[in-house]
Structure 1
C-alpha cells in the first residue's frame, strides 16, 4: 500500500495540476455555464473517470509504447482533436434549443455528456504522456510491486479529479442558470462553448 507521506505529496501535486487552467477545466466550465450544473458535472465526471484508462495503460506499459511510436501518437492526437472539433461544431450550429432538449432529455442527456467526457479524456494522447511522466515520480522503487503502486496512484488521481471537476461543474451551473433566461442567451452560450471545444481540438491537432 502507499505510505501516508506518499499519498499526501501526490495529492498535493495532483490537485494543483487539476486546478490549473487547461482544456479539461475549460470544457467543464463552458458546459456548466451553457447547459447547467448537472451537465457540467456529468461531463466533468466523465473526464475524471477517463483517467482510469490511462492508469491501466500506464500499468500495462502501453503508454510507453505509444510514446515511443511517433505514428501511433500522431494518429491518436488527430483522432482526439477531430472529436473535439466535431463536438464544437455541434454546439456552434445550435440555435439555443439544444440546451432545452438536453434538459428535457433527463438522464439520457446526462449519460451522453458523461460518455463524451470519458471519450475526450481517454483518447487524449497528452494525458497518456502526462501519466507516463507524472506517476513514476511518486513511486517508491524500494517498496516493490511497481504496477500496484502505479494503479493506486492512478485511482487516487481519478478520485480527486472527479471531486474537483464535479465542484467546478456544479458552481459554474449557477452562473448558467442565471444566464439561461432567454433562448438568445442560450444560443450565444452554446456558441461560446463550441468555440472553446473547436479551438482546443485544433490546438491538439496542430500542436507539436
Structure 2
C-alpha cells in the first residue's frame, strides 16, 4: 500500500486535531506564551511545539513505540523525566505570576530561535505522543505503508500540528485577548502553573 486514501486522511486529521486541542502541556504553554509575550514570541514557540510533536510521529513510524512496548522500564523512565521537566516548567510559571512583564522583548532572531527550541524541548519531554501516534497510525492504516506513503503521512501530521499551534498562538496573542490577560495576569499564570504541575505529576505517577 503506497498512497493515502482521502477517508484515511480525513480520519487522521480529525483524530489528530482533537488530540492537539485537548488541554495539555503544549496547548497551555502556547496560550500562556501568547498572552504574556505576544505573537513574536508565541508563534516560533508554537511552531517548535508542533515540530517536536511531529518528531514523535516520525519516531513512531521508525518503530520507537515498539521499543517502548518491549522496554516498559525505558518508557517509564522517560515519563518520569518528562514529568519533572513539566514540574520545573510549572515552577517558572508560578514565579512569573508575580513578576512584572518585560519592558522589551529579545531581538527577533535570538528570541525566535530560543522559543522554537524551547517548544521542541517541551513536547519531547513527554513520550506518550509516540504511543498515541503509533496507535493512531495502526488504527487508520492497518496495512504497512510504503516509504512514499510514510512520507506523505508525516507531512500530513506535521502540517496539522503546525496549523493548529500557529492558529492558537496568533489568536491568543491578539490585543483583546492580551488585554484580558493583563487584567488578570496573576491568576492566569497561577492557573497555568497548577495545570502544568498536575499534568507533570500525572505523567510521573501513571503507568
Smaller-chain TM-score bracket = 0.7 to 0.9
Indicate the residue corresponding to 2:83 in structure 1.
Answer: 81
Per-residue Cα deviation, 1:7-37 (whole angstroms, up to 9, x for no partner): 2332233223323333322222222223323
What secondary structure does 1:111 align onto?
helix
Indicate the residue corresponding to 1:96 in structure 2.
Answer: 99
Indicate the residue corresponding to 2:128 in structure 1.
Answer: 126
Do the aligned partners of residues 96 and 71 (structure 1) sit closer, same or farther apart at CA in structure 2, a change above 3 Å counting? same
The 1-side partners of 2:37 and 2:137 are apart by 34
Indicate the residue corresponding to 1:162 in structure 2.
Answer: 162
Q: 1:52 aligns with which of 46, 51, 54?
A: 54
**Contact persistence 2:42–2:169 (CA under 8 A):** yes
The 1-side partners of 2:195 and 2:134 are apart by 27
> Which ranges in structure 1 are unaligned for 5 or more consecutive residues?
none
Give the CA deviation at 1:205. Answer: 1.2
**Contact persistence 1:10–1:138 (CA under 8 A):** yes
**Contact persistence 1:39–1:169 (CA under 8 A):** no
Indicate the residue corresponding to 2:43 in structure 1.
Answer: 41
Give the CA deviation at 1:186. Answer: 4.6
Deviates more, 1:162-171 or 1:148-157: 148-157
The 2-side partners of 1:73 and 1:102 are apart by 41
**Contact persistence 1:45–1:165 (CA under 8 A):** yes
**Contact persistence 2:78–2:126 (CA under 8 A):** yes
Deviates more, 1:107-116 or 1:68-77: 107-116
TM-score under structure 1 normalisation? 0.82
Identify, as 1 or 2, the structure richer in helix.
1
TM-score under structure 2 normalisation? 0.82
> Which ranges in structure 2 are unaligned for 5 or more consecutive residues?
none
Indicate the residue corresponding to 1:66 in structure 2.
Answer: 68
**Contact persistence 2:54–2:161 (CA under 8 A):** no
Please tell me whether residue 15 in structure 1 is matched to residue 5 in structure 2: no
Q: Which residues of 2 match residues 181-192 of structure 1 at below 5 A?
A: 186=185, 188-192=187-191
**Contact persistence 2:21–2:27 (CA under 8 A):** yes
Total equivalences in the alignment: 203
Give the CA deviation at 1:189. Answer: 4.2
**Contact persistence 1:39–1:113 (CA under 8 A):** yes
Do the aligned partners of residues 102 and 163 (structure 1) sit closer, same or farther apart at CA in structure 2, a change above 3 Å counting? farther
**Contact persistence 1:52–1:158 (CA under 8 A):** yes
